[in-house]
Amino acid sequence: MNGRYDVIIVGYGPVGVTAANLLGGMGLTVAVVEKEPDIYARARAISTDEEILRIWQRIGLVDQLLKDMLAERPIDFVDARGRSFLSIKPVTRGNGYPPQLFIYQPALEQTLRDGVGRYPNVEVFCGHECTGVTETADGVAVEADGLGTLHGSYLIAADGGSSPIRTRLGVGFDGRTYEDRWLVIDTKVHRGWDSVDRLRFHCDPARPAVDCPTPLGHHRWEFPVLPGEDEQQLVEHDHIWKLLRRHGRTPDEVEILRAVIYSHHVRFATRWRIGRIFLAGDAAHVMPPWIGEGMASGVRDVANLCWKLAAVLNGELPDSALDTYEIERQPHVRVVTSRAVAVGKIITERRRALAALRNVVFRLGLRIPALRAYAREARWLPMTEHRDGLLDRIGKATVAGQYPPQPWVLAPDGNRARLDDVLAGRWTLLHLGAQQDWPSWPDTVARLRVTPAGSPPAPGTIVDCDDVLIRWMRERDTTVLALRPDVLVYGAGADGVLPPAPFTSGRGPADPVTSL
């Protein structure tokens, strides 16, 4: 492509590869620069959630990814004697997938990378380190070993928590690093045991531990490094087996694959946009792993950013629309991070008296039905909801910035499909009644009437097979939704009234956005 691209991505982990799939499907020219020659072998992230599956659905890879995931697994918090004081089974928020899924990151990344191979407009350069980034008059110039200079209109820096790009740009990374260091042990399961499929947080003040199932016959343990322990000795097999045997595991059950020690961090970049450069994933924020949302937060970042880049490059939105990336994403990341820190404190309490009090408080509190439902159904895990950004919060303000539910529908051609597959990455107006003029919305914006279960398929309609979306809209006194390409609600109205479209000078998409 002669070294000129719409977007350059530096970093090819789960965040960078998701961005490459999104942008590739939108028809943009993309270059990916990654210093490692191949996928990193160590499984880092171990879980994801239903919203992230909805994003991967938009890139057409969700069914392949689901084959290598574990879903509907219980989660237990147990005391020093192994007795549960809190058992969780998260409930779906209506996105069409299980609420929590366990992953094996190397396999997941391979499927996502294979997906990028569908797009001749995406070039991937692995084994080439980015050595410099400069903003030019009309874009960015990226220097990379062995490649020379690549030029792009925009750059996504998904190059990890240590982000050389963020450092070169002089962007602060505020927050703290926790004193506790943790040993992570990845194993291969040869023979299962009773709790092999459960995520268990061992809340033992003497030595907390995490005991986590992962797909494809793997299992993970995590232990804190105690004061006075030698980290080099701790990663040796003899010492690892001392820890695993305390939890009843034996060499005929599991094989140790690798062990590494790491620190927990809570940090946020002081800016996520620097001109034409955008920080995403760990380059923009890092959090402790306690609720499994680190990788997921990065995937949310690029799902928010990529369609906006495409809209700006295509002239549909002004460049200022890109400022809403940080405005929308940072508040959610901060809330998720605070919840992760809170859960970590519950798990890792080392003071015996407070740990005993914790156990009693949870057991008594769970006798109250409302608290029991809140805790056991993991309602404290925040789903996406933007309060500000590229939204119209006039009128039905409580709906803007949310995902609507994703039911099964009958498409206009009568085929059964998930809602997002019918929306196909387009700006769309969904309405319950007769179609209105909505003159501020160009004719090229799709309009679909939602009809109840049992209705016949027809052009310009979708049949809500279980009345899920219809019920959701009616409960919010809403009869029309304006959905962005990332499926979030831009604005909503009732009685035929809808907020005006956000397009530059009234211009909308020239044609419906390419189906992803």
| pLDDT surpassing 80 at residue 125 | yes
Give me the sheet containing 416-418, strands edge to edge: 416-418, 408-410, 461-464, 446-451, 428-431, 480-483, 489-493
d(CA 30, CA 495): 43
pLDDT at position 459 is 95
pLDDT at position 1 is 54
Reported as a pLDDT band with limits 50, 70 and 90, residue 380 is confident
Question: Rounded to whole angstroms, what are the CA distances from 488 to 9, 95, 217, 300, 393?
Answer: 24, 12, 36, 12, 13
Reported as a pLDDT band with limits 50, 70 and 90, residue 96 is very high
Pair 73, 198: CB distance under 8 Å: yes
Give the number of other Cβ atoms within 10 Å of residue 73's Cβ.
17
CATH topology of domain 4-69+98-174+266-346: FAD/NAD(P)-binding domain (3.50.50)
Average pLDDT score over residue span 441-464: 95
pLDDT in tens, 163-219: 999 999 999 999 998 878 999 999 999 999 998 999 999 999 999 999 999 999 999
pLDDT at position 516 is 23
pLDDT at position 89 is 86
| pLDDT surpassing 50 at residue 511 | no
pLDDT in tens, 9-43: 999 999 999 999 999 999 999 999 999 999 987 77
Residues 6+ apart with CB under 8 A from 453: 463, 464, 465, 466, 467
pLDDT at position 513 is 36
408-506 has the same fold as 4-69+98-174+266-346: no
pLDDT in tens, 357-373: 999 999 999 899 988 88
| pLDDT surpassing 60 at residue 505 | no
pTM, to two decimals? 0.94
Reported as a pLDDT band with limits 50, 70 and 90, residue 104 is very high
d(CA 187, CA 203): 21
Strand 30-34 and strand 4-10: the pairing is parallel
Q: How is residue 57 annotated by DSSP?
A: H
For the chain, the domains span: 4-69+98-174+266-346, 408-506
d(CA 373, CA 164): 44
Give the range among 210-224, 266-280, 356-370, 380-394 with minimum mean pLDDT.
380-394
d(CA 137, CA 150): 15
Task: Write out the DSSP string of 59-70.
Answer: TT-HHHHHTT-E
Tokens (6 digits) for 173: 């990374």
Reported as a pLDDT band with limits 50, 70 and 90, residue 98 is very high
Helices (H), 26-160: 50-58, 62-66, 105-116
Buried b (16+ CB within 10 A) or exposed e, 220-238: bbbbbbeeeeeeeebbeee
Instruction: Give the count of alpha carbons within 13 A of 327, CB side only.
Output: 11
Task: Write out the DSSP string of 421-484.
Answer: HHHTTS-EEEESSS----TTS-TTSEEEEEE-TTPPP-TTEEEETTSHHHHHHHHTT-SEEEE-
d(CA 136, CA 134): 6
pLDDT at position 40 is 85
d(CA 242, CA 257): 16
* Element (DSSP H or E) covering residue 344: helix 324-348
Mean pLDDT of the chain: 93
Task: Write out the DSSP string of 186-221.
Answer: EEEESS--TTTTSEEEE--SSS-EEEEEETTTEEEE
d(CA 139, CA 338): 36
CB neighbour class for 439 (10 Å; exposed up to 12, middle 13-18, buried from 19) = exposed
Give the number of other Cβ atoms within 10 Å of residue 298's Cβ.
30
Which numeric CATH code is attached to 408-506?
3.40.30.10
Pair 301, 179: CB distance under 8 Å: no
Distance of CA 356 to the CA centre of its chain: 35
In 3-state terms, what secondary structure has residue 516? coil
Give me the sheet containing 100-102, strands edge to edge: 47-49, 100-102, 70-71
pLDDT in tens, 308-337: 999 999 999 999 999 999 999 999 999 999
Give the angle 231-186-65 at the CA atoms, nearest 5°.
145
Question: What percent of the chain is modeled with pLDDT above 70?
Answer: 96
| pLDDT surpassing 80 at residue 508 | no
